[in-house]
């Protein structure tokens, strides 16, 4: 029995509706032009320069609060004494005893430095640091209230150890920053300019450090914050760096200590820009209600983040790994996913994480849920 051939019925093909079809172009990021991105960086730099010259804010803070005014006066008087002592040696004593033949005349400058200059400068730097801390805390309290200031650091034994670790790490970072700046300045031709630019960022970092610590920012978040807003912080640190580059090394340090309390107050009232370096402009509303808004990213030819502190953090990693803060072993690099392992170790050292306390560790022994099972969608890595 032969089968009858029947042709297949043609099936009509229909395209999906237009609103259900997503274009691949809609998923591609939209970038600003090079000119627009460079103009944005210039505007942010201008904002940083403007915030660095808001002296009316300083005058209002000094005249309206007695505690700030008293500490400002003490800092000005003591640092003026240090500057006077330094320039007395540089401009008067050193030229007079330069070509003397007698032993006492040749070494009078050495006696002056050891018996007077170094003790005065050392004591002024120590007292100025404590006065700047009081000024920063008082300014923060006036801005955000006493409750916010009280939550910065609890008055406990752990809090005291954390404060000591933070101060020690801050001293290490000051030394490494100075070493990097001297190294950059020694480069032929471009060294002085590179050293001055680096000084601008260093000055801005230490002016804003009190603000970031009060807001609970870790070391990695502070570094990322300033590196992603490099134009603003370069302009903010430009005036102080320009003032502290004309004398000797000790005179420049004393001059920075003199103006440091003022710039702490300016940093407390500053508003760094942009809020989001990766989306600096508001998105463009889509014409079709079914489409998403267009987000404009900066041009790839204008860097969003500049690794300003990479050498400083690298030196800090070496120092912390050598000292082995808290008696623990330095953290080893475990692969690409932990490329910042040493930086994590230095951050723990800066925050007192390297100090082991049996009383604290024995409070809770409950198992902690592993972080590998967490879902993290749409969030950028903070460090």
Residue 360 located in a structural domain: no
What mean pLDDT do residues 216-232 have? 92
Structure token digits, residue 210: 């009190």
Residue that has been written with the tokens 């932990």 in this structure: 338
Query: Distance from CA of residue 286 to its chain's centroid?
Result: 37
Percent of the chain with pLDDT over 70: 67
Residue ranges making up the domain that contains 99 = 54-152+187-268
* pLDDT for 359 beyond 60: no
355: region left, alpha or beta (phi > 0 left; psi from -120 to 50 alpha): beta
* pLDDT for 143 beyond 90: no
Give the mean pLDDT of the chain. Answer: 77
Residue that has been written with the tokens 């150890």 in this structure: 161
User: Which residues are within 8 A (CB) of 31 and not within 5 positions of it... i.e. 6 or more apart?
Assistant: 296, 297, 298, 299, 300
Other beta carbons within 10 angstroms of residue 94's beta carbon come to 14
What are the counts of helices (DSSP H) followed by strands (DSSP E) for the chain?
15, 2
User: 238-276 pLDDT, tens per residue?
Assistant: 999 999 888 777 888 889 999 999 999 999 999 999 999
Structure token digits, residue 185: 């300045």
User: Which residues are within 8 A (CB) of 283 and not within 5 positions of it... i.e. 6 or more apart?
Assistant: 293, 294, 295, 296
What mean pLDDT do residues 341-354 have? 48
User: 5-18 pLDDT, tens per residue?
Assistant: 555 555 554 545 55
Structure token digits, residue 120: 């005065």
Q: How far apart are CA 171 and CA 178, in angstroms?
A: 11
Residue 176 located in a structural domain: no
Buried b (16+ CB within 10 A) or exposed e, 273-287: bbeebeebeeeeeee
Number of domains in the chain: 1
Residue 19 DSSP class? G
* pLDDT at position 217: 87
* pLDDT for 362 beyond 50: no
- Place 350 in a pLDDT band, splitting at 50, 70 and 90: low
Please choose, from the candidates 323, 254, 269, 281, the residue with its C-alpha nearest in 3D space to the C-alpha of residue 88: 254
Residue 356 located in a structural domain: no
What mean pLDDT do residues 29-52 have? 94
Residue 16 located in a structural domain: no
Q: How far apart are CA 243 and CA 177, in angstroms?
A: 18
User: Which residues are within 8 A (CB) of 113 and not within 5 positions of it... i.e. 6 or more apart?
Assistant: 89
* pLDDT at position 366: 41
Please choose, from the candidates 296, 380, 282, 277, the residue with its C-alpha nearest in 3D space to the C-alpha of residue 41: 277
Q: How far apart are CA 184 and CA 251, in angstroms?
A: 20
Residue 205 located in a structural domain: yes
* pLDDT at position 340: 45
Residue 133 located in a structural domain: yes
Q: How far apart are CA 354 and CA 129, in angstroms?
A: 24
* pLDDT at position 354: 41
Percent of the chain with pLDDT over 90: 37
Q: Which residue has the higher pLDDT, 76 or 342?
A: 76
Residue that has been written with the tokens 């120590």 in this structure: 126
* pLDDT for 383 beyond 50: no
Q: How far apart are CA 138 and CA 188, in angstroms?
A: 44
Residue 225 DSSP class? H
Residue 128 located in a structural domain: yes
What mean pLDDT do residues 170-182 have? 85
Q: How far apart are CA 132 and CA 277, in angstroms?
A: 30
Compute CA distances 250 → 79, 265, 310, whole Å.
Answer: 12, 24, 26
* pLDDT at position 159: 61
User: Which residues are within 8 A (CB) of 106 and not within 5 positions of it... i.e. 6 or more apart?
Assistant: 97, 100
What mean pLDDT do residues 47-72 have? 94
* pLDDT at position 363: 38
* pLDDT for 310 beyond 80: yes
User: 155-170 pLDDT, tens per residue?
Assistant: 566 666 666 766 777 7
Residue 309 located in a structural domain: no
DSSP H or E run through 297: strand 296-297
What is the torsional sign of CA 48, 50, 53, 57? negative
* pLDDT at position 158: 67
Q: SS3 for 31?
A: strand
Please choose, from the candidates 272, 254, 268, the residue with its C-alpha nearest in 3D space to the C-alpha of residue 60: 268
Please, are residues 266 and 207 in contact by the beta-carbon 8 Å criterion? yes
* pLDDT at position 21: 52
């Amino acid at each position: 029995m032969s089968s009858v051939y029947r042709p297949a019925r043609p099936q009509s093909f229909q395209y999906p509706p237009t609103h259900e079809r997503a274009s691949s172009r809609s998923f591609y990021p939209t970038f600003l032009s090079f000119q627009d991105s460079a103009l944005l960086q210039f505007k942010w730099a201008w904002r940083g320069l403007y915030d660095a010259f808001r002296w009316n804010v300083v005058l209002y803070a000094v005249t309206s609060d007695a505690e700030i005014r008293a500490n400002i006066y003490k800092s000005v008087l003591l640092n003026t004494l240090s500057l006077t002592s330094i320039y007395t040696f540089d401009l008067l004593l050193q030229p007079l005893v330069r070509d003397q033949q007698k032993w006492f005349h040749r070494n009078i400058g050495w006696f002056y430095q050891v018996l007077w200059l170094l003790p005065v400068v050392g004591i002024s730097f120590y007292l100025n640091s404590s006065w700047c801390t009081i000024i920063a805390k008082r300014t923060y309290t006036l801005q955000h209230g006493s409750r916010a200031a009280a939550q910065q650091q609890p008055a406990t034994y752990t809090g005291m150890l954390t404060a000591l670790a933070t101060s020690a790490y801050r001293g290490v970072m000051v030394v490494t920053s100075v070493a990097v700046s001297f190294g950059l300045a020694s480069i032929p031709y471009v060294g002085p300019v590179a050293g001055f630019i680096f000084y601008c960022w260093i000055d801005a970092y230490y002016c804003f450090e009190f603000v970031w610590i009060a807001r609970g920012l870790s070391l990695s978040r502070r570094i990322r914050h300033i590196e992603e807003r490099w134009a603003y912080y370069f302009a903010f640190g430009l005036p102080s760096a320009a003032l502290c580059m004309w004398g000797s090394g000790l005179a420049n340090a004393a001059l920075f200590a003199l103006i440091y309390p003022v710039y702490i107050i300016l940093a407390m009232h500053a508003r760094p820009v942009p809020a989001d370096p990766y989306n600096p402009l508001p998105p463009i509303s889509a014409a079709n209600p079914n489409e998403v808004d267009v987000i404009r990213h900066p041009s790839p030819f204008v860097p969003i983040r500049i690794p300003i502190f990479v050498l400083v953090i690298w030196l800090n990693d070496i120092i912390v790994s050598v000292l082995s803060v808290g008696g623990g072993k330095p953290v080893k690099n475990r692969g690409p996913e932990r490329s910042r392992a040493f930086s994590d170790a230095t951050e723990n050292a800066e925050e007192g994480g390297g100090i082991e306390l049996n009383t604290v560790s024995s409070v809770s022994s409950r198992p902690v849920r592993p972080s590998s099972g967490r879902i993290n969608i749409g969030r950028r890595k903070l460090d």
